[in-house]
Amino acid sequence: MSETPEMEFEGVRRRGEAMSPSEVAAWFVREVLPLEGILMQYLHHNWRNQSDITDLRQEVYVRICESARQRFPDHTKRFVLTTARNLIINRMRHEHVVPIEAVADVDALGLAIDAPGPDQVAMARDELRRLQGALDCLSPRCREVVVLAHIEGLAGHEIAARMNISQATVSEHLANGIRGLTNMLFGDGRKP
Amino acid sequence: MSEAGEGRIAENGAAEIEAQAAAWLQRRRYWNWSDDDQVALEAWLDQSLAHSVAYWRLDAGLGRAERLAALRNPEQEAVEIPASEKKPLRRFIPVLLRIAATLAIAAVLGVGAASFVLRSHDRVYSTPVGGHETVSFADGSKIELNTDTVVHTRMTSEQRVVWLDRGEAYFQVKHDPVHPFIVIAGERRVTDLGTAFVMRRDSGRLKVAVMQGRVWFDASNKKKPQQSALLMPGDVVTATADSISVTKDSARALANGLTWRQGVLVFKYTRLADATAEFNRYNRQKLVVTDPAIAQMTIYGAFPTNNVELFSRVVRDVLGLNVRDNGNQIVISR
């Protein structure tokens, strides 16, 4: 059974045609982002220099979205991990660092590629805990700004007035907050 | 990154792109946003797929965080905000609560008494068992009522409110930010933010599934503080008297749940117990499964909602079960 749905929410996708950017974006958010935790585990495990991980993740995403413009893969998880593996092997060849055999094979990872995911209600509960953890990882000032914006729904200038800080500082905290929350919610829980 | 072979991000590291994407996103979400800003953002996104991917990712992360945050118990929130600083959306809810309370009393007294309380521009629409009706409104919104369903509506120049009293309905709403479209089911409210969604209410359980756009879901009762969530396409909320859960359904699963709009029920390895319960919503002559072991057998196929006979025949011929029509009921046994 194909993993791509027969019906999209807005308009019907015709097979064999190039995907529109919004279709690729929707596919990316729906199918790829939930796998970020697994991808990050794989990258952390197979690449020694941890400061390169963000670059590697982005390169994997760019490559699979480039490919998805032509066609959505049948098995997203396998495709994401294989792309990551190929990328790492290319890098290692280029840098002459370690033999290719050192890269964990996708199948050897022990990830049940096609197994059903955990119970979705349990996942939602787990994510609530993650969100709390993600908020706790932000600096106190950043957290205060994020809570006012995301949870209380205040606009940027309202936050600046309320906390008596400059609008530029509010912007900075909001941007950092968005990155921190995203990394914690989708990633493998490590701080990038 | 230094190697020339990875030129796409070599001159501009991923962390830098992510920082730029976050800066754009926070500007669009929390500050004044002009058409020129939008043009500039789109130009930046078009510069490279790396820009787009970083932006999509953070946008989804922010959305996820906001929805989770909205589901949290308000008592856990770290910062107390005076009510006057909250957004208007939260302020109008108590008014709705009062309206809902008035009608809840009416509902207890029964439909006859309820219509006594209703105002002149209020309308009641209902379908019998097996019925299917589409109601169109002047603003372009539509409500499709499934079998055995009662809604009443108040469409005025000031407000658009629908009460789902019983059953299931599919809502296609023409969005109007000044006059939000609100559906009330007991203690739960759904506020449209530009939307198609389906709501089903039966025996203490409410299910809301979003097909398009966004809706705002609120639940409250005396025992628990108010819980709210912003729902996106694919989100399904199931609320009972003491629990609320949000799950994600695939587009296909949601589409299967809406085939009643074409007068068809689709079962995919559905337990006989669930399939017959679903069929019984549409037909006066009820299917009864006596043996719990039989109830666990699964059935696959598409059936017209009013064709109990076809369903019975498949159960008999495909599952090899005994089907007996005794006038009032159709009994399925070994």
Same domain, B95 and B174: yes
The enclosing domain of B239 has a CATH number of 2.60.120.1440
pLDDT of residue B214: 84
Residue B157: what pLDDT? Answer: 79
Both B66 and B103 in one domain: the answer is no
**Average pLDDT for B41-64:** 91
pLDDT score for B57: 93
Of A134, A167, A182, the CB nearest to B57: A182
Interchain contact B13–A (C-beta under 8 A): yes
Distance CA B160, CA B328 (A): 42
Provide, rounded to the nearest whole percent, the portion of chain A with pLDDT above 90: 22
Q: B216 and B286, same structural domain?
A: no
- Confidence grade of residue B288 (pLDDT, cut at 50, 70, 90): very high
Residues B120 and B163 in one domain: yes
CB contact under 8 A, B14 and A54: yes
CB contact under 8 A, A179 and B18: yes
Domain boundary among B218, B233, B255: B255
Instruction: List, in sequence order, every residue forming a beta bridge with B172; answer none if it has no partner.
Output: B142, B196
Domain assignment present for B77 = no
> Which residues lie below 8 Å from residue B160, measured CB to CB, with a gap of 6+?
B137, B139, B141, B153, B154, B176, B179, B180, B181, B182
B113 found inside a domain: yes
Domain that holds residue B318: 263-333
**Residues B224, B296 within the same domain:** no
Say whether both B222 and B320 belong to one domain.
no
Asked if residue B6 is part of any domain, the answer here is: no
pLDDT at B298 over 80: yes
Number of domains making up chain B: 3
Note the pLDDT of residue B183: 93
CA angle A170, A171, A176 (to 5 degrees): 100
| Residue among B49, B212, B251 whose CB faces A7 most closely | B251
| Statement to judge: residues B128 and B28 lie in one domain | no
Classify A71 as helix, strand or coil.
coil
CA distance B123 to B225: 32
Please state which of the ranges A77-86, B99-108, B175-184 shows the lowest mean pLDDT.
Answer: B99-108
Q: What is the ipTM of this complex?
A: 0.75
Structural domain ending residue among the three candidates B228, B255, B282: B255
Measured between beta carbons, which residues in chain B are less than 8 angstroms from residue A157? 31
Section A130-141 average pLDDT: 80
| Residues above pLDDT 90, as percent of chain B | 22
Determine contact: B80 vs chain A, CB below 8 A.
no
State pLDDT tens for residues B6-16. 334 444 588 89
Evaluate whether residue B22 is within a structural domain.
yes
Task: Say yes or no: B156 and B293 in one domain.
Answer: no
What's residue B40's pLDDT?
93
For residue B167, tell me if it sits in a domain: yes
Cβ-defined contact of A124 to B247 (cutoff 8 Å): yes
Kindly state the average pLDDT of the residues A10-23: 58
| Residue B155 shares a structural domain with residue B273 | no
CB burial readout B304-329, b (16+ within 10 A) else e: ebebbeebbebbeeeeebebeeeeee
Ranked by mean pLDDT, the top range of A17-21, B79-83, B115-119 is: A17-21
How confident is the model over A172-191, as a mean pLDDT?
Answer: 83
B269 and B248 co-located in one domain: no
Q: Is the pLDDT of residue A68 over 80?
A: yes
Give the model's pLDDT for residue A37: 87
Say how many CA atoms lie within 13 Å of B155 toward its Cβ. 17
pLDDT at B118: 39
Tell me, yes or no, whether B56 and B121 share the same domain.
no
CA angle A185, A191, B5 (to 5 degrees): 95
Among B255, B285, B315, the domain boundary falls at B255
A-B C-beta contacts closer than 8 Å: 179
In a domain, residue B226? The reply is yes
Q: How far is the alpha carbon of A107 from chain B, nearest alpha carbon, in Å?
A: 26
pLDDT tens column, B149-195: 999 898 887 788 999 999 999 999 988 877 889 999 988 888 887 78
Same domain, B123 and B251: yes
Closest CB to A153 among B77, B86, B251: B86
Task: State residue B68's pLDDT score.
Answer: 65
The answer, for B302 touching chain A at a CB cutoff of 8 Å, is: no
On whether residue B215 sits in a domain, the answer given is yes
Q: With CB atoms and an 8 Å threshold, state whether B211 touches A9.
A: yes
Q: What is the pLDDT of residue B289?
A: 92
Q: Which residue has the higher pLDDT, B72 or B210?
A: B210
Determine, for residues A147 and B14 on separate chains, whether the beta-carbon distance falls below 8 Å.
no
